Chain A
Amino acid sequence: MNVIEVKGLKKSYGQVHAVRGVDLSIPAGEIFALLGPNGAGKTTTVEILEGFRSRDAGEVSVLGFDPKVQGHGGRQWRDRIGIVLQSAADAGDLTVIETVDHFSGYYSKPRKPDEVLAAVGLEEKSGALIRNLSGGQRRRLDVALGIIGSPELLFLDEPTTGFDPEARRAFWALIQQLRGDGTSILLTTHYLDEAEALADRVAVINDGLIIEVSTPAELGGRATSQAVVSWRDGNQIKTEATDNPTSVVTRLNAHFGGEIPELTVTRPSLEDIYLTMIGGVHE
C-alpha cells in the first residue's frame, strides 16, 4: 500500500503557480526525499500533504485519507502521522521532559518519553528549560515531539539545519532506526549528502513540477554517466571522460608499468547532477 498518493496536484497564490501538477507515489516503509530550490513548490506540496494548506486541484491521499479530513476523523488521521516543522521556538518556560510528556498525552499509542529523549540524544537535558537549549538541541526536541506518537508516516522538513557534522551523523542513524521500525518518512532537505545517505528514492521538484523521481544513485542518469579518470603525466594533470574507466586504468597501468601517479576516478556527485537538473540555479 502507498502511504502517499498524489495525482495532478495544483496550487496557486494569486498569479503565482506554486505547484503545477505534481504526481507522487510513496510506498510504505520508504524514506523519500523531496529536493528542490526555494520557491520550487516543495513547501507548498508538503504542507498540503500535512493538511496545513488547501489545494486548487488534484487528488491527495495520505495514509488512505484526504488531508482535508476534519473533526474526529481528522484527529484519528493526525494520530498516525508525525510532523517536524522547520522551526518552533515556543514553550521556553517548560522543561524538555515536561513538554515531551505532555505531547505524548495527545496520542493513542505514544512512545515512552524517556526512550524518545534517549533516541534523540537529549536524555541529559531532560530537566533543562527549553529556552536554555542550544539550536541543535532544540531541533532534536522538535524531532522528539514529531516521533512521540509512534507515527506510521513522518514528515521531516529540513531536519538537520544548524547541526554540526557529528550531530547530523547521529541524526541520520536515528532516522535509519525509525525506518527499521517500519516508519515511512517524507524528507525535504537542502543537503544532497543527507538525501544520498538516507533516501531510498528522491524526487527533484522545480518550478512547480516534478522533474524526476529516482534512487539517489541513478538520478539524472548518474549511474550511467561518464566517469572522469585523472592522473599525473610528468608535470601535467591529464583527464579523460569515458564510459569504460576500468579499461582506461588498465591501459594506464600498462603505460606506467605499475602505479599510476595521482590516479582518481570520479563520477558526478548527486549535487552536480542536481544542479544541472535545476538549471544551475543555486539556492
Chain B
Amino acid sequence: MNKIPSALNLGMRRGVLEVKQFSRQRESVVFTLLFPVILMAIFGSVFKSQQLPEGVTFSQYFIAGMIASGLVNTGFQSLAITIPMERDVGGLKRLRGTPMPASSYFIGKAILISVSMIVQIALLFGFGVLFFSVNMPTGASKWLTFTWLILLGSACSTAIGIAFSVVPKSGRGASAVVSPIVIILQFFSGVFFVFTDLPAWMQQVAAIFPLKWLTQGMRSVFLPDAWQKQEVAQSWENGRTFTILIIWLVIGVFFSVRKFKWDRD
C-alpha cells in the first residue's frame, strides 16, 4: 500500500500555495505590507519634533510598536477575517474531505504569516532608516531577542487567529468583529503612545494580552537599555514576555485543534 504524505510535507506544500495565492491578491498585498509603512510615515511626520526621554526619537519608539502590531495584524487579524471567508465559499469543507490533516492547513497558514512578516519588516526597516533615521538594533543579543520575538510572536498570532476564526459567523461580518479588537489593543498596548503615559487601568487591561508584551519586547530591541527606567517595571521583563507569549500560544493551539470549524453550519 502506498503511503500518504506526511503532515509536515503537506504543510510545506500548503505554505507555498498560500504564499502564491496571497501574492496574487494585489489589494491585500498592498494593504497588509504597506499599511505599517504608511502609518509609520504619518505618525513619524506628525510627532517628528516630540522629544522622548533618553534622547529617543518618536520614530525609534514607533518602529518597535509597528513591528509588534504588524505581528498582530498579519497573523491574528488577517486569519480571523480570511478563514471565515474561506469557510463561506466552501473551500474549507472541500479540504476536510481530503486526506490532508488539519495540522498541515495550520502549518501552511504559519508559513504564509512568517513570509509576509519578513517582507513587512524589511520594508519598515528600509523606510525607517532612509526617511526617519531609525537606528537598527546593535549587538548579537538584541538580534537574538528580535529573532525569538518574531518567531514566537508569529506563531502565537497565527494560533490565536486560527482559534478566533470560529467567532465570526460569516466572512462578511468578520472584519467588523475582529478589526475593533485589534485597534483597541493597539491603543491600550502603547503602540501609538508611550505606554507609561496611559491610564493605569488601560495598562492593566493591556497586560493580559500579547500585544503589550510584544511591543515592550520590541522596545528592548530598538531602544537603548537606559530606557528601561521608563518602563512600568523599570525593566524590559523579556523573561515574562516569553512566558506570556508561550501561554497564549498554548491557548491558541488548543482551541485551534479542538474547535476549528470547516463548515459554515
Q: Is the CB of B86 within 8 A of A106?
A: no
Q: Is the CB of B91 within 8 A of A78?
A: no
Q: CA of A145 to CA of B98 in the docked complex: distance in angstroms?
A: 10
Q: CA of A93 to CA of B82 in the docked complex: distance in angstroms?
A: 14
What is the CB-to-nearest-CB distance from B28 to chain A, in angstroms, rounded to a whole number? 10
Stretch with Cβ within 8 A of B (4 or more), from A24-32, A82-90, A202-210: A82-90
Q: CA of A149 to CA of B5 in the docked complex: distance in angstroms?
A: 13
Q: CA of A123 to CA of B61 in the docked complex: distance in angstroms?
A: 55
Chain A residue contacts of B100, Cβ below 8 A: 106
Q: Is the CB of A102 within 8 A of B17?
A: yes
Tell me whether chain B's interface is mostly helix, strand or loop, or mixed: loop
Q: CA of A93 to CA of B86 in the docked complex: distance in angstroms?
A: 13
Size category of the A interface is: 20 to 34
Considering only CB atoms, which chain A residue lies closest to B16 in the complex? A102
Chain A residue contacts of B4, Cβ below 8 A: 75-76, 79, 106-108
Q: Is the CB of B21 within 8 A of A94?
A: yes
**How many A-B pairs with Cβ below 8 Å?**
76
Considering only CB atoms, which chain B residue lies closest to A82 in the complex? B97
Q: CA of A149 to CA of B98 in the docked complex: distance in angstroms?
A: 9
Q: Is the CB of A98 within 8 A of B97?
A: no
Q: CA of A145 to CA of B97 in the docked complex: distance in angstroms?
A: 11
Q: Is the CB of A79 within 8 A of B21?
A: no
List 12 A-B pairs, Cβ < 8 Å.
Answer: A51-B97, A86-B90, A88-B94, A90-B90, A90-B91, A93-B20, A94-B17, A94-B20, A103-B98, A106-B10, A149-B98, A149-B99
Beyond A88-B93, A98-B20, 14 additional pairs, beta carbon < 8 A:
A51-B97, A52-B96, A75-B4, A75-B99, A78-B98, A89-B89, A89-B90, A89-B91, A90-B89, A98-B17, A102-B13, A103-B98, A105-B5, A107-B99
